[in-house]
Chain A
Amino acid sequence: MSVTLLIEQLLNGVQLGTMLFLMASGLTLVFGVMGLINLAHGSFYMVGAYATAAVTASTGSFLIGLGAGMAAAAMVGALVELLVIRRLYHRPHLDQVLATFALILIFSEGTRWIFGSSPMRLSPPSWLTGFVTLPGDTRYPIYRLMLIGVGIVISIALYVLISKTRLGMRIRAGESDREMIGALGVNISKLYTVVFALGAGLAGLAGALVGALQSVQVGMGEPVLILAFVVIVIGGIGSIKGALFGALLVGVVDTLGRVYLPLFFQTFMPPSEATGVGSSLAAMLIYILMAVILAFKPKGLFAAND
């Protein structure tokens, strides 16, 4: 019984991790290449979810909806980059934090204005519902397994993109020496827009996928954004490898913590107290983890050379 629970929760942790990775990779790329903190990243997550919900509702196809969601998020990302983000690259971090915080307000309230406060409907298509039986007699939802699959595919795709393509080469060069690649004739503006849009698209995909699992509502991106920041800080800002490692670590620790900490405390405390202490601690766990890691490695585990 508890082995089943363990496997199930581990998989949940990995699934959370892969979705976090989609968010974190965009964030860390933007910071690594452009040196910019973007708080509005959670808004792209939300845009992807809303676009997918709207398109799925009208076309009836989840896959088309997903594609639309990614595309919409990427386009919004590109637009935001051209209009606002462009002016922030050389500004101090405080300005970037505030400007992108302003964007959060604009996107959240704007979305609420257009779509209203109640959540939009989005469910996985029928061919993705249902369970699969894993070794150890565990039943696990197919949809969640699919999310893990998507995560793996994206990780590989990103790896190939960064290490084997020209775009990836420019990204890596941009990360190590921003001024130099300009001097070498690479079109920086275009590169930045592409990187930003890529990150936004990935966030949108994550939003759409998770939206079908949980719900699509205004502000859904905020909690994920914070977690994504924790991930990239743990992993090392600018490092995709760090983002992957950090995302899986955070996903697994958070999920297992919420399940097992209350259980652990129940072994020597009365149940009501145990749940209180256990869930409090579980909620704080990720941040404690981050603080501990930063205390020893102030720039994260896989800090890039910046």
Chain B
Amino acid sequence: MTNTTSLSKNAAPVTDADSHFDRKGLVQMILLGLLLLLPVAAYFLGHTYYVNLASRVTIIAMAAVGLNLAIGYGGMVSFGHAAYFGLGGYVAGISAYHAFDLTPFMSWPFSVPGSDSLLVVWLAAVVLCALLALAIGAISLRTTGVYFIMITLAFAQMIYYFANSWPTYGGQDGLPIYIRNTLPLVDSTDALTYFLICFTGLVFAMALTSRLMKSRFGAALTMARLNDVRLATAGVSPYPIRLVAFVISAAITGLAGALYADLNGFVSPSMLSWHFSGELMVIVILGGVGRLYGPLAGAVLFVMMETLLGGITEYWQLFLGLVLLGVVLFAKHGVMGWLAGSERNE
């Protein structure tokens, strides 16, 4: 077996993983391009419904990008990522509630008012989700395998039931958002503008993931997933690496949640449900676990099925189940694997 590409101790050999115009790069560009251009076209044709639908796809894709970092790149099967999505949503909702109401969220030990600024809300969502994930991850990552899956599920359930029964912010009925939070310089109530905000968020999340995985941190995370004994023997402790990856993944999903709440003008405990955690996992695997564009492909497929199939039959989830079963049993690498070929590891 010989190396055909240029071999040098100065750099990894140039492989087709680097070329942007091979099959994989083409598929990626088409996906992203369509996602950007179709809503713009729809907007100028007057179909705001489709613009909002595109926003929805984009946000869910972003949430899945976060989860993919944990599951696909990190090998940590979190069944509780809805907790972060929901927390992000509630941060947006509670902040808007207090901004509208003009009452502070907390008065003690210091006064925390509501805010109608998107930037403040996003920052708060990211920070709070990161803290929550730090606490949950610190405990959960001491377990492995099915115990990890179950304990992440359990923590998410805790938060779900908490939100359901805490009456101030709507409890079971959810929390309406009466004002859309604002961003300086742009009109966030405009559908296309909001879509572009979400699109930027998605691209940012994907770029972050890509950069992260190419760095030393990413190398350590990959090793932790493939062979954590090898990682430890090489001198790097797996636990802190995983914990940081878990926290970053939660922050991304949480930010998506904040965007989602603002899009819908509503936060509901269902954003915290295990069904949603399951749906996110479905999206990640449909698209292709551990692929950069997997979450996007999966989100597009999922929402398409929901809207198209959902228009035909109210039992569309039955067919979703069949498709999912088929993918798991027969098409292990998801849509990206099918469209773009298998991923070359280095």
Contacts and interface: CB of A to CB of B under 8 A. Distances in A.
A230 B154 contact: yes
B21 interface: no
A95 B317 contact: no
A105 B317 contact: yes
Most buried by A among B71, B143, B157, B278: B157
B147 A298 contact: yes
B16 to A, nearest CB: 28
A94 B147 contact: no
Contacts of B151: 233, 290-291, 294
B30 interface: no
Interface in B113-170: 139, 142-143, 145-147, 149-151, 153-155, 157-158, 161-162, 164-168
A102 B324 contact: yes
A298 B142 contact: yes
A246 B153 CA distance: 18
B329 A105 contact: no
Given A93-B146, A294-B139, A226 B320 contact: no
A280 B161 contact: yes
B281 A98 contact: yes
Contact of B149 (A97, A110, A287): A97
Given A97-B79, A103-B325, A276-B166, A284 B158 contact: yes
B153 A229 contact: yes
B77 A94 contact: yes
B318 A110 contact: yes
Contacts of A93: 77, 145-146, 149
Contacts of B299: none
Interface in A73-118: 84, 87, 93-95, 97-99, 101-106, 108-110, 112-113
Given A97-B149, A283-B165, A294-B147, A87 B329 contact: yes
A98 B285 contact: yes
Contact of B315 (A37, A102, A113, A288): A113
A261 to B, nearest CB: 11
B302 interface: no
Contact of B324 (A87, A98, A229): A98
A115 to B, nearest CB: 12
Interface in B59-79: 71, 77, 79
Contacts of B274: 226
B166 A290 contact: no
Interface in B78-101: 79
Contacts of A260: none
B29 interface: no
Nearest to A108: B317
A101 B143 contact: no
Nearest to A295: B139
Most buried by B among A108, A222, A280: A280
A291 to B, nearest CB: 6
B321 interface: yes
A114 to B, nearest CB: 10
B282 interface: yes
A262 B320 CA distance: 42
Contacts of A112: 315
B203 interface: no
A279 interface: yes
B340 interface: no
A121 interface: no
A211 B321 CA distance: 25
Contacts of B316: 109
A102 B319 CA distance: 9
Interface in A195-245: 222, 226, 229-230, 233, 237
Given A101-B278, A233-B151, 18 more contacts: A37-B149, A97-B149, A99-B328, A101-B281, A102-B320, A102-B328, A106-B325, A109-B318, A110-B318, A226-B157, A229-B153, A229-B154, A279-B165, A280-B165, A284-B158, A294-B151, A298-B143, A299-B147
The 9 closest A-B pairs by CB, nearest first: A105-B321, A283-B161, A109-B318, A106-B321, A102-B324, A287-B158, A102-B325, A102-B321, A280-B165
8 contacts: A98-B282, A99-B328, A106-B321, A109-B318, A229-B154, A233-B147, A283-B161, A283-B165
Interface of B: 71, 77, 79, 139, 142-143, 145-147, 149-151, 153-155, 157-158, 161-162, 164-168, 274-275, 278, 281-282, 285, 289, 315-318, 320-322, 324-325, 328-329, 332
